[in-house]
Chains A and B, each alone.
Chain A
Amino acid sequence: MSLLRPLLLDVVPTIQQTAALALGRLANYNDDLAEAVVKGDILPQLLCSLSEQNRFYKKAAAFVLRAVGKHSPQLAQAVVQCGALEMLVICLEDFDPGVKEAASWALGYIARHNSELSQAVVDAGAVPLLVLCIQEPEIALKRIAASTLSDISKHSPELAQTVVDAGAIAHLAQMILNPDAKLKSQVLSALSQIAKHSVDLAELVVEAEIFPVVLTCLKDSDEYVKKNGATLIREIAKHTPELSQLIVNAGGVAAVIDCIGSCKGTVRLPGIMMLGYVAAHSENLSMAVIVSKGIPPLCACLIEEHEDHIKAAAAWALGQVGRHTPEHARAVAVTNVLPTLLAMYMDTRSSEDLQMKTKKALKNILQKCTYLPALEPLLHDAPPNIMKHIVGQFSKVLPHDSKARRLFVTTGGLKKVQEIKAEPGSLLQEYINTINNCYPEEIVR
């Protein structure tokens, strides 16, 4: 490091550039080396004469800043304290697209860590220049600028508002049509980071007329484009019922369901969550989800996936769909997914989160479920806290329906109910008494 430092001040420009490049590659490799670069006081020297240098030097210097700033927030803070941000903003105004790309990449890595650093980047006046960079014709520059805007706006609503005020949304929305896959994924991620903070921002994003173009992104061949497209739709759908209604009316639910059906793994997760949010807002929306044939893919996700958090999300989504009215619960129960949920709840290998979500989903669905053939298999294995809901449902339906009563006896349900031991005076005992009262004495014995 002490050898490279004086070379930065050499007379020959090629030596300066090569020295800067060497520093950048060293810092890129390892964060200890990056710390050594910072401690060796190299950054101020690098930046002192940046504005007069040629474009190769600027590129190499931006590369060094990026390499140092990417490892940890403390290093990025050190980079900011050397006054690097003003220099990077000057680089952003340069004509050469390579320099702009290197500068915006460095800014992106710095802004990624936390919101203070993002605020510092915004205060340096980088956002309008980044919006100009997005409009340039080079694809690599567009990609990097979009990813930097995404990193800036992800931390807080004020930062996202700053990005929106610079007029970024219109340009980002135009670039969704671009055929390059990586650019699309960055643009979709930027829009979703903007839309996730508040209802107004989400409405602004929607007003940029992204629907129904976004739905074509869900059919792209690249996995990340699909994932980010589903994330964007999820962030919009989660705020209010009106926004979800808009998405449903545009046919978004069908596209997301197809997307879930065609992917595997974590790519499905935002799509599943989107269905859950849409169904949670109101019963009409969840009926719309059911009508669009949303439940079979959710059940398939629940069964096939190996990761616990995806299963938990699928269970939560099913719970939201089924909890509104008996029709909804029946639609969920018909697909025979309740025993699977119960099995996951009882499985000791499932994580806490999965168990809690399956329990809640089961409770919500069971409290409205009047479809008895689906409830019967659950009688045999359920633990007491679930059992009381199941028996409660039976006690509500059986007194009024004679065919169901006959079926209940023939399938051995009555026998099972007798075997349940309940404390006298508890709710469970009351339910059992109600059921027993429906039948004549001889059968009960």
Chain B
Amino acid sequence: CLDEDRKIEYKAAVKIQSWFRGCRVRAYLRYLNKMVIFIQKWWRGYRSRRYFRKMVETAYFIMKMNFYNEMAVRIQKRWRGYYVRKYIHNYYALKKYLEAISVNNEIVRNELQEYTKMKENEEKRKDLEKKEKEKKYQARKMHYLLSTEQIAGIYNSPFRKSPDPMELLLRKSKPLSHRQQQMKSPFTSSDWPACKRPLTFSTAQPLPPIGRQKPQGPFRDTAEVLRQRYKPLEPTLRVAASINSPLEKAREEMKREEWRNRIHDNEFLPFSSYHKNEKYDPSIHRSGKYGQETYGVKHFREVQPKKWVADKDFQTVLPSIVLFEKFGKTYSRTGQIV
């Protein structure tokens, strides 16, 4: 029984000690737990405060940006409205432009109107001029209808108060001679753009000077004087040639001139060919019905030997005009001098 008491006490002591150790350990663990919680609490607080600070910063930033955006929108709104209204859809500029266009249109219309009027006037004037020319030509042709002292012409009836305008025209006009009628002016205004006639100098004689008093005294005839004064210079060959090798140079010059001026080969035609008319080369469309007619060119008088009574041609009894007899019988063929 002492053994059992010892065992019971031993066991009780063990229990008490184990329970106490357990208490100590638990108290230690509790302490550790509390410390850990404390540390974690502090750390978490730190972390979230940092996060919160960041959140506050971003929220503030966003608020500021919104504010700026809004203000920027206000500014841009005003600016865009101004810009568009001033430059792109400028109402007043458009109005001015349209007014300018109408003004310009008016100017253009007026100018075109003037242009048409001018053209019409020109046409009327041309018509009028043509009619005048016609009338004058008619008057010149019918010059014989002019009234004389005894007999009144048809345009000057005695029952009229004043003569007809045609009568006045007749009085003014010169009688028309046949040859001049064919000469038209070489240059009418309608030909100018087409240049249908070749431009030529007028070959009429220069007009004689107006009747001047002949100067008194032993003066020479003015025509002679002018001829002498304006005689062209004809230097001798020696003068005209150059100093160095005159002969060679002169010969060369002459050769060149010869070669240049020799346009056609019949150079030595006598001057009477100046009046000769060019041979008329009719176009194939315009000649006679069965070819070119030879009357008037090759012969003037038809000769039919078969119809002759005798075998001979007519013989002149009296000598005809000597000059006319030479027709076709001279020996100079090229010039056909009559």
Contact of B109 among A138, A180, A216, A255 (CB under 8 A): A255
Q: Kindly provide the distance from the CB of A175 to the nearest chain B CB, expressed in whole angstroms.
A: 10
Asked whether any CB of chain A lies closer than 8 Å to the CB of B116, the reply is yes
Contacts of B98 in A (CB 8 A): 287-288, 291
> For residues 159 through 211 of chain A, which have their beta carbon under 8 Å from a beta carbon of chain B?
178-180
The answer to whether B116 and A56 touch across the interface, beta carbons within 8 angstroms, is: no
The answer to whether B104 and A215 touch across the interface, beta carbons within 8 angstroms, is: no
Asked whether any CB of chain B lies closer than 8 Å to the CB of A367, the reply is no
The answer to whether A255 and B94 touch across the interface, beta carbons within 8 angstroms, is: no
Q: Kindly provide the distance from the CB of B151 to the nearest chain A CB, expressed in whole angstroms.
A: 49
Interface SS of chain B: helix
Asked whether any CB of chain A lies closer than 8 Å to the CB of B142, the reply is no
The answer to whether A56 and B284 touch (CB under 8 A), given A137-B194, A248-B101, is yes
Contacts of A178 in B (CB 8 A): 193
The answer to whether A216 and B115 touch across the interface, beta carbons within 8 angstroms, is: yes
Asked whether any CB of chain B lies closer than 8 Å to the CB of A139, the reply is yes
Complex CA distance for A221 and B120, rounded to whole angstroms:
9
The answer to whether A284 and B284 touch across the interface, beta carbons within 8 angstroms, is: no
Asked whether any CB of chain A lies closer than 8 Å to the CB of B34, the reply is no
Q: Kindly provide the distance from the CB of B195 to the nearest chain A CB, expressed in whole angstroms.
A: 4
Which residue in chain A gives the minimum CB-CB distance to B119? Answer: A221
1/0 per residue, CB under 8 A from B, across A232-260: the answer is 00000000000000001111011100100
Q: Kindly provide the distance from the CB of A379 to the nearest chain B CB, expressed in whole angstroms.
A: 33
Contact of B112 among A17, A138, A218, A248 (CB under 8 A): A218
Interface size, B (range): 20 to 34
1/0 per residue, CB under 8 A from A, across B96-109: the answer is 01100110111111
Asked whether any CB of chain A lies closer than 8 Å to the CB of B283, the reply is yes
The answer to whether B102 and A292 touch across the interface, beta carbons within 8 angstroms, is: yes
Asked whether any CB of chain B lies closer than 8 Å to the CB of A377, the reply is no
The answer to whether A216 and B112 touch across the interface, beta carbons within 8 angstroms, is: yes
Which of B98, B101, B119 has the most CB atoms of chain A within a 10 A radius of its CB?
Answer: B101
The answer to whether B105 and A251 touch across the interface, beta carbons within 8 angstroms, is: yes
The answer to whether B108 and A212 touch across the interface, beta carbons within 8 angstroms, is: yes
The answer to whether A288 and B101 touch across the interface, beta carbons within 8 angstroms, is: yes
The answer to whether A249 and B104 touch (CB under 8 A), given A56-B284, A216-B112, A255-B112, is yes
Q: Kindly provide the distance from the CB of A62 to the nearest chain B CB, expressed in whole angstroms.
A: 16
1/0 per residue, CB under 8 A from A, across B283-318: the answer is 111000000000000000000000000000000000
The answer to whether A258 and B109 touch (CB under 8 A), given A18-B284, A287-B98, is yes
Complex CA distance for A350 and B194, rounded to whole angstroms:
49
Complex CA distance for A250 and B112, rounded to whole angstroms:
13
The answer to whether A139 and B194 touch (CB under 8 A), given A219-B115, A258-B109, is yes
Q: Kindly provide the distance from the CB of B105 to the nearest chain A CB, expressed in whole angstroms.
A: 3
The answer to whether B108 and A179 touch across the interface, beta carbons within 8 angstroms, is: no
Contact of B108 among A14, A139, A140, A251 (CB under 8 A): A251
The answer to whether A291 and B109 touch across the interface, beta carbons within 8 angstroms, is: no
Which residue in chain A gives the minimum CB-CB distance to B98? Answer: A291
The answer to whether A254 and B94 touch across the interface, beta carbons within 8 angstroms, is: no
Which of A249, A251, A287 has the most CB atoms of chain B within a 10 A radius of its CB?
Answer: A251
Contacts of A215 in B (CB 8 A): 108, 112
Contacts of B283 in A (CB 8 A): 56
Which residue in chain A gives the minimum CB-CB distance to B122? Answer: A179
The answer to whether A255 and B97 touch (CB under 8 A), given A17-B284, A180-B193, A221-B119, is no
The answer to whether B193 and A292 touch across the interface, beta carbons within 8 angstroms, is: no
8 extra A-B contacts, CB within 8 A, seeds A180-B193, A221-B119, A254-B106: A21-B285, A139-B193, A212-B108, A216-B112, A248-B101, A249-B101, A258-B112, A287-B98
28 A-B residue contacts at CB 8 Å?
A56-B283, A137-B193, A137-B194, A137-B195, A138-B194, A138-B195, A139-B193, A180-B193, A215-B108, A216-B112, A218-B112, A219-B112, A219-B116, A221-B119, A250-B108, A251-B104, A251-B108, A251-B109, A254-B109, A255-B108, A255-B109, A258-B112, A284-B94, A284-B97, A287-B98, A288-B101, A291-B102, A292-B102
| A residues in contact (CB < 8 Å) with B | 14, 17-18, 21, 56, 137-140, 178-180, 212, 215-216, 218-219, 221, 248-251, 253-255, 258, 284, 287-288, 291-292
| B residues in contact (CB < 8 Å) with A | 94, 97-98, 101-102, 104-109, 112, 115-116, 119, 193-196, 283-285
